[in-house]
Amino acid sequence: MPPEEQTYSSHRRFHPLFHFFAFPILSINFLFHLYLLWRNPSLIMLWSCFVAAALVAAVFLARYYSLRQQDRIIRLEERLRLQTLLPEDLRSRINELRTS
């Protein structure tokens, strides 16, 4: 059986705990704290908005960093495959390849 063709649509993936729970809940929490700051301006409300924004940023960055790491691993795998498949005269040009 031939391997399945790899495309963006076949590798796109939603993580329900992240996409449908953690990120939406923390985003709503941040918006709610902004509303509370608007209704009752005080230093403690301002601080709670900063904490809520930091939580949203932390969850977003955790996902972002793992995706960038995955991209680096895929590029390394591609370079290793090219190292074995290309003729000797083209191997020196492997590092010229860009993701774009």
How far is it, in rounded angstroms, from Cα 55 to Cα 26?
7
Which residue in 39, 64, 77, 58 sits closest to 97, CA to CA?
77
Question: In the predicted model, what is the mean pLDDT of the chain?
Answer: 88
Helix 23-39 vs helix 43-85: crossing angle, to nearest 10: 150
Q: What is the pLDDT of residue 19?
A: 86
pTM greater than 0.85: no
Give per-residue pLDDT as tens, 2-37: 667 766 666 667 788 888 999 999 999 999 999 999
pLDDT above 90 covers what percent of the chain?
Answer: 45
Q: Where are the domains of the chain?
A: 16-96
H helices of the chain, where?
8-11, 16-17, 23-39, 43-85, 88-91
**Using 50, 70 and 90 to split pLDDT, how confident is the model at 74?**
confident
